[in-house]
Amino acid sequence: MTAQGAAVESSEPDLIARREGPVGVIRLNRPKAINAVTLEMFRDVDKALDEFEADPEVGLILLEGAGERGLCAGGDIRALYESSQVGGDLGKILWREEYILNARIAGFPKPYVAFMDGIVMGGGVGLSAHGRHRVVTERTRLAMPEVGLGFFPDVGGTWLLSRSPGEIGTYFGLTGQTMNGPDAIYSRFADGVVPSGKLGTLREMLVRLPAGVTNAEVKNTIDGFANGETAGPIAAMRPQIDRWFAHDQMQDIVAALRADGSDLAQSTLKTLNEKSPRGLVVALKLLRLARASPSLQECLVREYRAALQVFASDDFREGVRAAVIDKDRNPRWSPPRIEDLTAQMIAPYFAEIGADELVFDQTK
């Protein structure tokens, strides 16, 4: 349960923003869609942050999801697919506003708490993992599976993943595998594991904090409920993962996995073989560039360039078709093999885009 167990009325809006004591609550409210985020919801989050930032009675922000299944399953992929099919501009508009919002959350001047209970994917990661106080539970299932859609981990995902220990972020970014709560702590996507049964009580404690609460006081409150776990199953796999994923070329990663006869190596190879070859190569290059980047904003600018190219690509439409539309789980990637990709095919994903470049509003 994501802090609120009451049935959601169908007449309620997709996003609920209201003050509860000193807390500015932002609740994603599409439980039937696991709170998948639409363009209008991103805009409503931004408006709520405007209001809460200006209100001296609001001391902290709390992001939560309605329903039992999770915080957020990602963005509205179907709408993006339909726009891409007809040469529309939803991708250009939605990702611009979403990425600017991601950067705003990362620099928000008041404590920002995210309850990352249940499923947290894609756009849901962007709304939560850039916050100052990121709470996961034993029910958390966090993933960035975009490469399976002919895409790459965006919403600042390349910044986050490139700052995970060793090659853990490379592994999660390329395979799209799921983190549990302690995995998310180890991978630096979250700050504390709180049992889901205690989220309601933690929420009550946050509402009682004074309007002038500091980040240190919020952290101490959350720490009082956290179970202290800091490493999940992924930590034990790190030596192998660091060895396999240390390479800067996808062919070398694949070769390292092929050369290892272990069950883990072979299952990882099988997972990679299901992904878009183009998506894998673009994602790996973005991750390596992000590792040397000084800021989240620089990574978001790079992601936006690549995202516009993805939006116009056959692989994106094919990936969404196979996973979401027809659900046959049998995408026909173009090209079908990593070996068939050329530098000329990849270059447009990293080219400057002139007047369409992502620009951040320095007033927020």
Examine the pLDDT at 48 and tell me if it is beyond 90.
Answer: yes
d(CA 187, CA 247): 19
| Residue 33 near residue 10 (C-beta atoms within 8 A) | no
Largest Cα span, the chain: 60
d(CA 46, CA 127): 11
Alpha carbon 117 to chain centroid distance? 14
d(CA 168, CA 157): 13
For residue range 309-343, what is the model confidence (pLDDT) as tens digits?
A: 999 999 999 999 999 999 999 999 999 999 999 99
> Of all helices (H) and strands (E), which one includes residue 44?
helix 39-54
- The pLDDT-based confidence of 4 (bands split at 50, 70, 90) is very low
| Residue 277 near residue 318 (C-beta atoms within 8 A) | no
| 174, 241, 251, 265, 269 from 261: Cα distances, Å | 20, 14, 17, 7, 11
For residue range 225-239, what is the model confidence (pLDDT) as tens digits?
A: 999 999 999 999 999
Residue 1's pLDDT is: 38
Examine the pLDDT at 261 and tell me if it is beyond 90.
Answer: no
Q: Note if the bond before 335 is cis, omega within 30 degrees.
A: yes
CA gyration radius, the chain: 20
Beta bridge partners of 302: none
Q: Which residues are catalytic?
A: 75, 123, 146, 154
Strand ranges inside the chain, DSSP E = 15-20, 23-28, 60-65, 70-72, 112-116, 119-121, 133-136, 141-143, 192-193
Sequence-distant (6+) residues with CB within 8 A of 347 are: none
* Overall average pLDDT of the 11-40 stretch: 96
| Residue 137 near residue 193 (C-beta atoms within 8 A) | yes
Q: Which residue is associated with the tokens 């009682």? A: 208
d(CA 125, CA 103): 13
For residue range 146-178, what is the model confidence (pLDDT) as tens digits?
A: 999 999 999 999 999 999 999 999 999 999 999
For residue range 139-149, what is the model confidence (pLDDT) as tens digits?
A: 999 999 999 99
Sheet holding 141-143, edge to edge: 70-72, 119-121, 141-143
* Overall average pLDDT of the 60-71 stretch: 97
